[in-house]
Amino acid sequence: MIVDLRSDTVTQATKEMKEAMLMAEVGDDVLGDDPSVIALENLVAKRFGHESGLFCPSGTMTNQIAIKVHTNAPGEVICDELAHIYRYEGGGMAFNSGVSNRLIQGDRGRFTLEQLKAEINPDDIHFPPTQLVSLENTCNKAGGCYWSLSELERISNFCKNEGLPLHLDGARIYNALVAQNTSEAKMGKFFDSISLCLSKGLGAPVGSVLTGTADFIKKARRIRKIFGGGMRQAGYIAAAGIYALNHHVERLAIDHKNAKELGQLLKQKPYVKDIKPVDTNIVIFQLNTDVSMQDFIANLDNKGIRVVSMGPQTIRLVTHLDIGDQEMDKLKKEL
């Protein structure tokens, strides 16, 4: 048995999800008449209390489209130094939108309103105009931690007063919602745009949805076309997303419980130097200096356990839909 903990993106579609895909009614989404895509976009927008949605091939694309629509070169985007949009999207902000980055050193990917205020540029020709604030919830590189609703509210109120758009990289927003037992609508009202990934904890094979006002999504649709993200009978994969949204949300609590168990287990291992708090489905730990990371990963691989490195001596494990009791038993024996 292979236990793949490299990411929550590795899940296989369930039989029921495949059936939903097979039965999907489809059209041509670039021409705007794929009923399953329209249903998915409306479902996500409605849940988060936004006017419209846009189905895209990836979370990178939804983030990059949002940045493109919200900004004008030579603007500046404020985000945490651990943010996916800054670290893992290939420099897309500069490449696609001609904007620079202002990085905040937050607490595990989360910063305070006071930290944000200190980074807003004055209206002065020396500085790029601050045009967008982007938050990541949960924060991947920080180990899946989530933002407090009170800090989100403070930041959101401030951005609204300043007329500064606020974007959410919500690749794993449902992990945060389930962990905090809160609703999409409550989260949605804080943000001007949200990027939600269907292909991570929710277990769909492909796709992300961007939400915002009708006007924002109209512009985003144009950018999606330019980025080459217009898909035709995309309803087959949209149907998987709808299935995931209707069946795979509450079960994220299982992933969180499993991740916490793995965290407890690893704490006791002699090869572990340090482990980040486990808040949702991501476990990040550091190996002792006398352990070779390459050998550690290779040894696990030989036992059928796949993990990834997240930096020097740093390993990440992610729990997901395909990690059940049997997989957990194997991990308890073999880790």
Ligand X SMILES: Cc1ncc(COP(=O)(O)O)c(C=O)c1O
Q: How near is the Cβ of 23 to ligand X at its closest, in Å?
A: 25
Whichever of 58 and 115 has its CB closer to ligand X, that residue is 58
The kind and range of the H/E element at 283 are strand 282-287
Window of 31-39, 53-61, 220-228, 289-297 that interacts with ligand X by CB under 6 A: 53-61
Among 71, 96, 208, 258, interactor with ligand X by CB under 6 A: 208
Q: How near is the Cβ of 288 to ligand X at its closest, in Å?
A: 27
Distance CA 317, CA 259 (A): 8
Tokens 């903990």 locate to: 5
**Structure tokens given for 123:** 């209206």
When asked if residue 8 is in the footprint of ligand X (CB under 6 A), the reply is: no
Q: How near is the Cβ of 9 to ligand X at its closest, in Å?
A: 6
Q: How near is the Cβ of 269 to ligand X at its closest, in Å?
A: 26
Please answer whether residues 245 and 207 qualify as being in contact, where contact means their C-beta atoms are separated by less than 8 angstroms. Answer: no
Q: How near is the Cβ of 285 to ligand X at its closest, in Å?
A: 18
Measured CA to CA in angstroms, residue 128 lies from 77, 83, 166 at distances of: 9, 20, 17
Whichever of 63 and 130 has its CB closer to ligand X, that residue is 63
When asked if residue 169 is in the footprint of ligand X (CB under 6 A), the reply is: yes
Who contacts 301 (Cβ-Cβ below 8 Å, separation ≥6)? none
Among 21, 34, 53, 59, interactor with ligand X by CB under 6 A: 59
Instruction: Provide the pairing of β-strand 314-318 with 166-170.
Output: unpaired
When asked if residue 314 is in the footprint of ligand X (CB under 6 A), the reply is: no
Among 47, 84, 256, 320, interactor with ligand X by CB under 6 A: 84
When asked if residue 140 is in the footprint of ligand X (CB under 6 A), the reply is: yes
When asked if residue 280 is in the footprint of ligand X (CB under 6 A), the reply is: no
Who contacts 3 (Cβ-Cβ below 8 Å, separation ≥6)? 304, 305, 306, 323, 327, 330, 331
Q: How near is the Cβ of 61 to ligand X at its closest, in Å?
A: 7
Whichever of 284 and 335 has its CB closer to ligand X, that residue is 284
Would you list the DSSP string of 129-180? PEEEEEEESSBTTTTSB---HHHHHHHHHHHHHHT--EEEEETTHHHHHHHH
Whichever of 6 and 273 has its CB closer to ligand X, that residue is 6
Distance CA 136, CA 200 (A): 14
# of chain residues touching ligand X (CB under 6 A)? 12
Window of 56-64, 125-133, 251-259, 325-333 that interacts with ligand X by CB under 6 A: 56-64
Whichever of 171 and 217 has its CB closer to ligand X, that residue is 171
When asked if residue 97 is in the footprint of ligand X (CB under 6 A), the reply is: no
Among 136, 184, 192, 255, interactor with ligand X by CB under 6 A: 136
Q: What is the DSSP letter of 324?
A: -
Among 171, 177, 220, 240, interactor with ligand X by CB under 6 A: 171
**Structure tokens given for 236:** 């087959």
| Position 276, amino acid | K
Among 67, 82, 194, 197, interactor with ligand X by CB under 6 A: 197
Who contacts 257 (Cβ-Cβ below 8 Å, separation ≥6)? none
Distance CA 57, CA 276 (A): 31
When asked if residue 165 is in the footprint of ligand X (CB under 6 A), the reply is: no
Binding site for ligand X (CB under 6 A): 58-60, 63, 84, 136, 140, 169, 171, 197, 199, 208
